[in-house]
Amino acid sequence: MRSITKTVWILSVVSLFTDTASEMLYPIMPIYLKTIGFSVVLIGVLEGLAEATAGLSKGYFGKISDMTGKRVPFVQIGYAFSAISKPMMAIFIYPIWIFFARTVDRFGKGIRTGARDAILSEEASPETKGKVFGFHRSMDTLGAVIGPSLALAYLYFNPKDYKTLFFIAFIPGLLAVASTFYLRERAPSSHPAKIRTPFFSFLGYWKTSPITYRKLVFGLLLFTVFNSSDLFLILKTKQSGIDDTAVIGIYIFYNLIYALFSFPIGVLADKLGLKTIFMIGLVLFSTVYFGMSVNNHLYLFFLFFFLYGIFAAATEGISKAWISNITDKKDIATAIGTFSGLQSICSMLASSMTGLIWFRFGAAVALLTTAIATLIITLYFLWIPKPQVVKK
């Protein structure tokens, strides 16, 4: 644990509080949205646009962070935006305002992500990237266990009182913001304080990036096109006749597996290779979607969400560690931000496309389409060479 520095701990605690707030609401979000008139298609569009906002702003603010040499202010402001969005979701119930509140939340994520991941990368060596990113992801996802557990306990005593949860979620959000003030910049910036940068200027990095970066990101984006919001898996579970309590319980179980396995899988990835672990994750993802497309039994849902937790642990932090290992240190926030910006477009397409297929052909066809496409994409990653660490 010597590679887990004080800064990594602080960022991990901040993420834990933020995820506690966000994930307190996530499993009840599709249920809440349907109670105020959202259709499954509108839910898909909402999630797609929200992720697009997050991703595009990740690219822009990641580049600004690299150009100014500043990290901490982006982290602080980003977490503040996400905190204030929670009560907004309860106060504004009309679709246009729900879109606005959700966008504020995702915009906050966009502001902080590139700078935060750059800090994590700077706190690790190439040989410990999997461990550091895995530890952060583990703590982050622990919040996704605590949050839904609190939601489950509250709804047990106050069934269907979804609005109050949005106000309760504001509390851990504030704790996250307070924790960011313990962060310190690693070194004073020698960059100019004010730089005029067009919003989409980060896309220019694609032309100057290493060829290995482009090959990897192309594969990741291809997968993203078919990797729609987890809300659809939650909705499939709900449509199988399982009550709200069981649905939230399954989601808590998934996040517990995700949290427990992220750190050890990160350590394993440093030994066996990031590519190997990532590809195993893709195979598990495809297996889950095949199974979920035909399953209606409670116990099998637990099995599939167990495998889904392993998939998440083997891909989310691992992909960022992989990108940071093949990117020059001065461009890390830009590299991750550019990937996220392009990914956002694919995420918007994925959720919107899945929502439309679901609406037109049903849940089984939507999930099977994703499963088959992912198996084909896995073959592409066989062609990508194992990452060679860039000299810093």
| Predicted local distance difference test score (pLDDT) of residue 239 | 79
Between these two residues, 349 and 26, which has the higher pLDDT value?
349
| Predicted local distance difference test score (pLDDT) of residue 27 | 66
Does residue 193 lie within any of the structural domains? Answer: no
Instruction: Compute the average pLDDT of residues 357-377.
Output: 90
User: Domain containing 106: what range?
Assistant: 6-181+202-383
| Predicted local distance difference test score (pLDDT) of residue 187 | 60
Between these two residues, 209 and 37, which has the higher pLDDT value?
209
Highest mean pLDDT among 53-62, 251-260, 332-341: 251-260
- Cite the beta strand spans of the chain per DSSP E: none
Does residue 87 lie within any of the structural domains? Answer: yes
How many Cα atoms are found within 13 Å in the side-chain-facing hemisphere of 387? 31
Instruction: Compute the average pLDDT of residues 43-70.
Output: 76
| Predicted local distance difference test score (pLDDT) of residue 388 | 57
| Predicted local distance difference test score (pLDDT) of residue 48 | 65
Model confidence at 151: pLDDT above 70 = yes
How many Cα atoms are found within 13 Å in the side-chain-facing hemisphere of 348? 15
Average pLDDT, the chain: 83
Does residue 165 lie within any of the structural domains? Answer: yes
Helical segments of the chain, H only: 6-25, 29-35, 40-68, 72-91, 95-122, 129-157, 162-168, 170-179, 205-208, 211-224, 231-239, 244-272, 274-294, 298-325, 332-361, 363-383
> What's the pLDDT band for 139 if we cut at 50, 70, 90?
very high
Question: pLDDT > 70: what percent of the chain?
Answer: 89
Highest mean pLDDT among 232-236, 275-279, 340-344, 358-362: 275-279
Between these two residues, 46 and 16, which has the higher pLDDT value?
16
> What's the pLDDT band for 391 if we cut at 50, 70, 90?
very low
Instruction: Compute the average pLDDT of residues 48-55.
Output: 68
Does residue 388 lie within any of the structural domains? Answer: no
Cα–Cα dist 31/28, whole Å: 5
Instruction: Compute the average pLDDT of residues 216-245.
Output: 84
Does residue 52 lie within any of the structural domains? Answer: yes
> What's the pLDDT band for 47 if we cut at 50, 70, 90?
low
Cα–Cα dist 392/389, whole Å: 9
| Predicted local distance difference test score (pLDDT) of residue 2 | 67
Highest mean pLDDT among 29-33, 94-98, 162-166: 162-166
Does residue 101 lie within any of the structural domains? Answer: yes
| Predicted local distance difference test score (pLDDT) of residue 392 | 46
| Predicted local distance difference test score (pLDDT) of residue 242 | 79
Instruction: Compute the average pLDDT of residues 27-49.
Output: 70
pTM summary value = 0.76
CB 11 within 8 A of CB 120: yes
Model confidence at 62: pLDDT above 80 = yes
| Predicted local distance difference test score (pLDDT) of residue 75 | 94
Structural domains in the chain (count)? 1
Between these two residues, 282 and 61, which has the higher pLDDT value?
282
Highest mean pLDDT among 101-115, 162-176, 291-305: 162-176
- CATH code of the domain in which 93 resides: 1.20.1250.20
| Predicted local distance difference test score (pLDDT) of residue 210 | 84
Between these two residues, 224 and 53, which has the higher pLDDT value?
224
| Predicted local distance difference test score (pLDDT) of residue 92 | 73
Does residue 271 lie within any of the structural domains? Answer: yes
Label residue 98 left, alpha or beta by phi (over 0 means left) and psi (-120 to 50 means alpha): alpha
Q: Tokens representing 86?
A: 């929670």
Task: Name the 3-class secondary structure at 377.
Answer: helix
203: exposed, middle or buried (Cβ count in 10 Å: 0-12, 13-18, 19+): middle
Does residue 197 lie within any of the structural domains? Answer: no
CB 289 within 8 A of CB 304: no
Helix axes 231-239, 332-361, angle to 10 degrees: 30
